[in-house]
Amino acid sequence: MSETTLTRESIVAEAIRLADEGGLEKVSMRRIADALGTGAMSLYRHVPDKESLVREMAAEVGSAYPYPEELLGDPDWRRRVHIAAETDMQLYLRHPWVLLAHAVPRAALSRSSVACFDWLVEAFTHLAGAVDESAGLALLVWNHVQGAGLGAVGRVLVAPGSSLDGGGFVAGLADNPLADDLPRLRELVAADRPELCAAMPMLHSGIDALCEGFAARYAR
């Protein structure tokens, strides 16, 4: 690729491809330049450093997972919270590295992320009223989803290139000798509760619990 055809978009697209394939640690200016057939120094004319590149990457993939604009203003805040949570989880399952990118506040402050936060805050104003109270609830939801996302894609983050671990912690107890001498955990394994082992059911179960707590708080 000649310097005249090299663009920020092509750089970001290649960086996303590398991150999806091997995690953020595989993203380097040298690898991107080699893939695009140009010199590494040429990239800096479009992206000043890797931190800026990661922000651009997170913004690009995040823009494909917006919260539904048509529900802005809908007073059914519970439904909207579930939709927001599932949207974010789908993003993390498709691009696990985004979890790490979003751990840096500047990388999380993209146009799409800010719009999603405003959407979720507006949803909670139908429960809490005040914007600051609603923002606090929205952040609690995001914290839960990020924790659930880490549980779902942690294996890929630790060992880039591996497959997603769909079993989870409880599934791992089934063949773990550490549970043999713990009667409660043996009972748990014998109960065969698949919903405790899958990412989406656990995500929504947690959201249900949060929403029940939120509703109880503001009912008082």
Angle subtended by helix axes 199-219 and 77-94, to nearest 10: 150
Look at residue 195 in the predicted model and tell me its pLDDT. Answer: 66
Q: What is the pLDDT along the chain (220 residues), one digit of tens a residue?
A: 555 579 999 999 999 999 999 999 999 999 999 999 998 899 989 999 999 999 999 999 999 999 999 999 999 999 999 999 999 999 999 999 999 998 888 878 899 999 999 999 999 999 999 999 999 999 999 999 999 999 888 888 888 777 676 567 777 777 788 888 888 888 888 887 776 667 888 899 999 999 999 999 999 6
Which tokens belong to 147? 């924790």
Instruction: Please tell me the predicted confidence (pLDDT) of residue 89.
Output: 95
Measured CA angle at 165 (ends 162, 169), to 5 deg: 140
pTM of the model: 0.86
Which CATH number is 8-48 given?
Answer: 1.10.10.60
> Distance (Å, rounded) from C-alpha 88 to C-alpha 92?
6
pLDDT confidence of residue 162: 72
Cα(149)–Cα(84) distance, rounded to whole angstroms? 13
Domain ranges for the chain, please list them.
8-48, 62-219
What pLDDT does 17 receive? 96
Q: State how far the Cα of 145 lies from the Cα of 168, in Å rounded to an integer.
A: 15
Tell me how far CA of residue 76 lies from CA of 69, 85, 181, 188, in angstroms. Answer: 14, 15, 46, 35
Residue pair 168/197 in contact by the 8 Å Cβ criterion: yes
Q: Which residues of 119-139 are buried (b: 16+ CB within 10 A; e: fewer)?
A: bbbbbbbebbeeeebbbebbe
CATH code of the region 62-219:
1.10.357.10
Predicted local confidence at residue 57, as pLDDT: 96
